[in-house]
Amino acid sequence: MGASTTIVLPDANVLYSRTLRDWLALCHLEVDGWFDVRWTEDIMAEVVYRLRRDKPLASDRQIAGVRDRLVEVFSSGRIAGYAIDSNMSYPDIFDAHLHAAAVHGDVDIVITADKGFVALADQIDELPYEVHSPDTFFCLLDDLDPGAVQAVTQKQLDYWMIRTGQFNLCAHLERAGTPQFAERVRLHLQGSC
């Protein structure tokens, strides 16, 4: 991530996780211009489908509200008009839309926890974008601006302490598949005492 804004495209598995979704949105708002988040209707549809499948009795506000808030926070981020390259061999055919959107949207980084998509990156010598796990992406942000990550850490802690009275940010990050970033957050928390 250099002087210009880095364009990132999170996979549905990142936006589906409340923990990862919240950290991505808050970091996006805190680091002011370092990275911009893109999304597609396909990604949003998958997020909404998975939320509904996991919470069949949730209200529309609870399910579609997630999508609405993401669109509001990442308001200029929609990628549309991409075409799937049917001549390409995809380790997981359901990742074709993500690759096509990343290429069409001139994305710099795809954030995914999908091992099949990582296999696609290994298969193609020269992708026009980098593939990062949520853990490596958040660690990269912390490398670039630890002060911003510290501020987000404090906001997260304040929010959850008011709501629940106790909350272990690091445990939630570890469960969300970001153990290295959880350790960095632990250090930020120790530094704020």
Q: For residues 115 and 16, what is the distance between their CA atoms, to the nearest angstrom?
A: 16
Please answer whether residues 21 and 15 qualify as being in contact, where contact means their C-beta atoms are separated by less than 8 angstroms: yes
Q: Supply the pTM of this predicted model.
A: 0.93
Residues 6+ apart with CB under 8 A from 8: 35, 36, 37, 38, 107, 108, 109, 110, 111, 137
Please answer whether residues 120 and 94 qualify as being in contact, where contact means their C-beta atoms are separated by less than 8 angstroms: no
Residue 67, domain extent: 6-133
Q: What is the CATH number of the domain that holds 58?
A: 3.40.50.1010
- Can you tell me the mean pLDDT for 139-158? 94
- Is residue 152 domain-shared with residue 59, that is, in the same domain? no
Sequence-distant contacts of 81-85: CB under 8 A, at least 24 apart: 82/40
Domain count along the chain = 2
Among 111, 133, 155, the domain boundary falls at 133
- Is residue 72 domain-shared with residue 99, that is, in the same domain? yes
Percent of the chain with pLDDT over 90: 76
Q: For residues 97 and 16, what is the distance between their CA atoms, to the nearest angstrom?
A: 17
What is the pLDDT at residue 181?
A: 98
- Is residue 129 domain-shared with residue 145, that is, in the same domain? no
Among 133, 162, 177, the domain boundary falls at 133
Pairwise pLDDT comparison (122 vs 82), residue with the higher score: 82
CA dihedral 163, 165, 171, 177 (to 10 degrees): 0
Q: For residues 81 and 43, what is the distance between their CA atoms, to the nearest angstrom?
A: 14
- Is residue 57 domain-shared with residue 111, that is, in the same domain? yes
Identify which of 95-99, 112-116, 160-164 has the greatest average pLDDT.
Answer: 95-99
Q: Tell me phi and psi for residue 30, to 5 degrees.
A: -80, -40
- Is residue 85 domain-shared with residue 165, that is, in the same domain? no
What is the pLDDT at residue 192?
A: 63
- pLDDT higher than 70, residue 184: yes
- Is residue 37 domain-shared with residue 63, that is, in the same domain? yes
Q: For residues 180 and 137, what is the distance between their CA atoms, to the nearest angstrom?
A: 11
Q: For residues 56 and 89, what is the distance between their CA atoms, to the nearest angstrom?
A: 35
Tokens of 82: 């991409």
CA distances from 43 to 11, 28, 56, 103 (A): 7, 18, 19, 15
Percent of the chain with pLDDT over 70: 96
- Is residue 86 domain-shared with residue 18, that is, in the same domain? yes
Distance, CA of 159 to chain centre:
20
- Is residue 123 domain-shared with residue 155, that is, in the same domain? no
Give the amino acid at 85: D
Kindly report, residue by residue over 1-31, the tens digit of the pLDDT: 445 899 999 999 999 999 999 999 999 999 8
Per-chain mean pLDDT for the chain: 92
Kindly report, residue by residue over 43-94, the tens digit of the pLDDT: 999 999 999 999 999 999 999 999 999 999 999 899 999 999 888 888 888 8
Question: Is residue 1 assigned to a domain?
Answer: no
